[in-house]
Amino acid sequence: MSNKGPGLFSDIGKKSRDILTKDFNSDHKLTISSSTNNGFDLNTTLVKSRGLSSGDVSTKFKYKNNTVHVKVDTESSVLTTFTIPDIVASTKTIASVRLPDYNSGKIEVHYLHDHAAFTTAVDLNNSPVVDFSATIGTPGIAFGAETSYSTSIGNFTKYNAGMCLRMPTSNASVILADKGDSMKVSYLRQLDSLNGGAAVGEISRRFSTNDNTLTVGCSYVVDRRTLVKAKLNNHGNLGALLQHELANKSFLTISGAFETKALERSPKFGFSLLLKP
């Protein structure tokens, strides 16, 4: 599949979102992962959130670029996902079903080209929701849109649009979402002073309520094993994160959230530990 084109609609603004949201959490999470040379991966995850504990066990098997992923959780549900590339040139097909809910099946197709990308997903039931997205452009500039159509109500439940501009050391994006009720503008700049990290500014506005949120954040590469991230918005919400690679592909992540305008409230802390023997 080509990776020289504009990318998928979900890629618009992704680098900025990753700095401001990825790995920030207030849960306690432990993941143990192992893999073999023949393409078999095994992951066990335990999560404690708001006093409740949950977990899952997942296996992934790869064979000639085809992937089968099976996840069993503590709710006794089994999610099976099949990923098959290049049934047709430049495509990737993903089929999934969650048991015992037989109506939860879904099939999704991605098509990537040098100047266009499309995705479509259809629920495998009597009243499916049809998702569609399209992006056109180049690796440097892209325009895209996505929509969801519910056959049960005969109406569109979602339509968003966006554009992005990518440069060697920076990128900017604009996303119009919530059926035109909200807009998000973000700008990311990679800085040598952050050892390969980046600074991000994001402005989001909801037109129906006239609410504006300004968020600034940055990531700082302390060394090749340690990453620090921080973010702050105009409502006084501060987040900080430390991620350290304990060994090869084994990570400890500690994050915290604070409300600077309400210091009497207790801060929230979370940690994630990924072990890969």
Span 189-228, pLDDT tens digits: 999 989 989 999 999 999 999 999 999 999 999 999 999 9
Cα-based distances in Å from 157 to 27, 117, 135, 209, 210: 31, 22, 20, 20, 22
pLDDT in tens, 107-156: 999 999 999 999 999 999 989 999 999 999 999 999 999 999 999 999 99
- Are 217 and 199 contacting, i.e. CB atoms less than 8 angstroms apart? yes
Q: Is residue 130 situated within a structural domain?
A: yes
pLDDT band at 1 (very low <50, low <70, confident <90, very high): very low
Between 23-32, 110-119, 180-189, the lowest mean confidence (pLDDT) is in 23-32
Q: Is residue 4 situated within a structural domain?
A: no
Domain count, the chain: 1
CATH of the domain at 19: 2.40.160.10
Q: Is residue 242 situated within a structural domain?
A: yes
Between 2-6, 19-23, 121-125, 143-147, the lowest mean confidence (pLDDT) is in 2-6
Q: Which domain holds residue 265?
A: 9-275
pLDDT in tens, 51-82: 889 999 999 999 888 999 999 999 889 999 99
> Any idea how long the chain is?
277
Q: Is residue 207 situated within a structural domain?
A: yes
Q: Is residue 3 situated within a structural domain?
A: no
Q: Is residue 266 situated within a structural domain?
A: yes
Q: Is residue 2 situated within a structural domain?
A: no
Q: Is residue 153 situated within a structural domain?
A: yes
